[in-house]
Amino acid sequence: MPLYKNFTPNSQTTVKIWKITESLDYLMKGLHLKAESSERVSGMKSEIHQRGFLSVRHLLAEFGYIDTDLFYDSKGKPHLKDGKYISISHSFTFSAVAVSNDLIGIDVEKQRAKIGIIAHKFIGYENNYLKKESADYINKLTVIWCVKESLYKLFATPGMLFKEHFLIIPFMLKDQNTIAWIDYNNIKHRFTSNFVEFEGFTCAYALPS
Q: How far apart are CA 207 and CA 192, in angstroms?
A: 5
How many secondary structure helices (H) and strands (E) does the chain include? 6, 11
> 107: which strand partners?
204
Same domain for 115 and 174? Answer: yes
Same domain for 77 and 57? Answer: yes
Number of domains in the chain: 2
Same domain for 113 and 202? Answer: yes
For residue 134, the model assigns a pLDDT of 96
For residue 1, the model assigns a pLDDT of 57
Name the nearest CA neighbour of 110 among 80, 79, 143, 152.
143
Same domain for 22 and 46? Answer: yes
Same domain for 76 and 53? Answer: yes
**Among candidate residues 69, 101, 133, the one where a domain is terminated:** 101
Same domain for 157 and 184? Answer: yes
For residue 158, the model assigns a pLDDT of 85
Same domain for 25 and 94? Answer: yes
Name the nearest CA neighbour of 57 among 28, 86, 82.
28
For residue 187, the model assigns a pLDDT of 84
Q: How far apart are CA 146 and CA 151, in angstroms?
A: 9
Consecutive 10-residue averages of pLDDT for the chain (209 residues): 88 97 93 94 94 97 97 94 98 97 97 97 96 97 98 90 96 97 91 96 94
Residues with Cβ within 8 Å of 50's Cβ and at least 6 positions away in sequence, in order, are: 24, 41, 44
For residue 42, the model assigns a pLDDT of 93
Angle between helices 47-62 and 35-43 (to 10 degrees): 150
Same domain for 93 and 168? Answer: no
Same domain for 31 and 120? Answer: no
CA distances from 81 to 10, 22, 85 (A): 22, 28, 10
Tell me the whole-structure pTM to 2 decimals. Answer: 0.95
Residue 168, classified by CB atoms within 10 Å of its CB into exposed (0-12), middle (13-18) or buried (19+), is: buried
Where residue 49 sits, what CATH number does that domain have?
3.90.470.20
Q: How far apart are CA 110 and CA 147, in angstroms?
A: 14
**Among candidate residues 84, 101, 118, the one where a domain is terminated:** 101
**Among candidate residues 101, 124, 149, the one where a domain is terminated:** 101
For residue 80, the model assigns a pLDDT of 98
Q: How far apart are CA 86 and CA 154, in angstroms?
A: 9
Question: Which residues span the domain enclosing 134?
Answer: 107-208
Same domain for 67 and 130? Answer: no
Same domain for 76 and 141? Answer: no
Same domain for 119 and 188? Answer: yes
